[in-house]
Amino acid sequence: MARTAAELAFERHVAAIHSGNREAFLSNFAEDAIVEDPVGPSPLDPSGQGHHGRTAIAAFWDKVIGPGAVRFEIDRAYACGNEIANVGTIYNELPDTVGEIAAHGVFVYRVNLEGKLVSLKAYWDYETTMSGG
């Protein structure tokens, strides 16, 4: 079965993160993309409105992804139309934290007709994750 555009975009996303390739990470997003990670207000996004556009997404990389050691453990993936919903855990170990955190959740990626990510919505609880829950 052929991979969907959303599946391919997710695979590029993971590969860019694992290789530490900021430019590949950013080029996988449309210019007007939005990243909500996590969805809603958190210390990573106090307004809860998400990171809009590549400049804001680049700042998110610089703060959260670039300095960390991120790995994905996806238990289930559901690709439908131009979206993919992944259920699993994303782990990250940031230099200024007490160790590896585990964000258990649902991670939804949507692509445009060019196969670029236009939306990333990460449904996980910040407080529970940061407290080790």
- d(C-alpha 35, C-alpha 37), whole Å: 6
Query: pTM here?
Result: 0.94
DSSP 31-100: EEEEEESSSS-BTTBTTSS-EEHHHHHHHHIIIIITTSEEEEEEEEEEEETTEEEEEEEEEEE-TTSSSE
**pLDDT single digits (tens) 89-119:** 999 998 877 689 999 999 999 999 999 999 9
Identify the domain containing residue 84 by its residue range. Answer: 5-130
For residue 29, the domain's CATH number is 3.10.450.50
Is the pLDDT score of 2 beyond 90?
Answer: no
Do the bridges between strand 100-111 and strand 117-123 make them parallel or antiparallel, or are there none, so unpaired? antiparallel
Triad 109, 77, 42: Cα angle to 5°: 45
Q: How many domains does the chain have?
A: 1
